[in-house]
Amino acid sequence: MTIKLYELAGIDKSRPFSPHCWKARMALAHKQVEVETVPVGFTAIAEIENGGQTSVPVIRHGEKVIADSFKIALYLRDAYPDRGDPLFRGEGSIPLARFVEAWSQSQLHSWIIQWSAVDIHAMLNAADQAHFRAKREKQFGRTMEEVVADREGRAGQLRQILTPIRMMLAHQPYLGGSQPAFADYIPFGALQWLRICSGLAMWDRDDPVRDWFERLLDLHGGLARSVPEASR
């Protein structure tokens, strides 16, 4: 049965950019599930599946509606125990993936939003722009333009933030071990957000973390690579 995935999109529906939606997209592909994607803007999230949703990704599978990328991954693990590769290898990998989520959200996302806020804004329609600006400027305590104004001076911080993944790569090719797992899709989703909204010109080509990222772009028939990098 096809799973419907509601994912965030701007004016160009062929460039879904949300980090959390990319986690869900990769998890669905990992489990070899047929997907129908439904692009939604920020201001349309409240109308998904007759209302009540506050964020995407959201999936519908038969009678079930599930929101939140991590919950979706856990649902897919239970719904498709024998299909595709495991998203989690052993019970202990779930709390560790939660740690990866906390690290990615607190370190990587906060750097990316301060790099990409104006680029994301430029991708949205007028209603979504107003929503995004209000929410982010409340969070920043200043305008988006002020936040990104000195971003070039922060370019090198990205390499620093990615140090834990670089150190791990000395021992294993993926956060999941010898094979990718949901834990990989968590920081991958964040970097795909950066790639689609702002491009990766600030990220050293010789960083081994980039090799890991490129390998994930190639997975599942090049699903994530099929959305071109921004050329800003």
Ligand X SMILES: N[C@@H](CCC(=O)N[C@@H](CS)C(=O)NCC(=O)O)C(=O)O
Summarize as ranges the residues that interact with ligand X (CB under 6 A).
8, 18-20, 42, 45, 55-57, 68-70, 135
Q: Where are the alpha helices (DSSP H) in the chain?
A: 19-30, 69-79, 93-103, 110-122, 126-140, 144-148, 157-161, 163-168, 182-197, 208-222
> Which CB, 45 or 100, lies closer to ligand X?
45
Q: Nearest residue by C-beta to ligand X?
A: 55
Residue type, 118: V
Q: How many residues does the chain have?
A: 232
> What is d(CA 114, CA 202) in angstroms, rounded to the nearest whole number?
13
Question: Parallel, antiparallel, or unpaired: how do β-strands 3-8 and 58-61 relate?
Answer: antiparallel
Q: Least distance from C-beta 73 to ligand X, angstroms?
A: 9
Max intra-chain CA distance, the chain: 50
Report the Cα–Cα distance between both ends of the chain, in Å, rounded.
Answer: 39
Laid out side by side, the sheet with 3-8 consists of 35-40, 3-8, 58-61, 64-67
Q: How far is the CB of 112 from ligand X (least distance, A)?
A: 11
At its nearest, how many Å lie between ligand X and the CB of residue 47? Answer: 13
Q: Which is nearer to ligand X, 98 or 160 (CB)?
A: 98
Of the pair 165, 190, the CB lying nearest ligand X is at 190
Shortest separation between residue 179's beta carbon and ligand X, angstroms = 22
Least distance in angstroms from the C-beta of 55 to ligand X: 3
Identify which of residues 55 and 173 has a Cβ nearer to ligand X in the complex.
Answer: 55
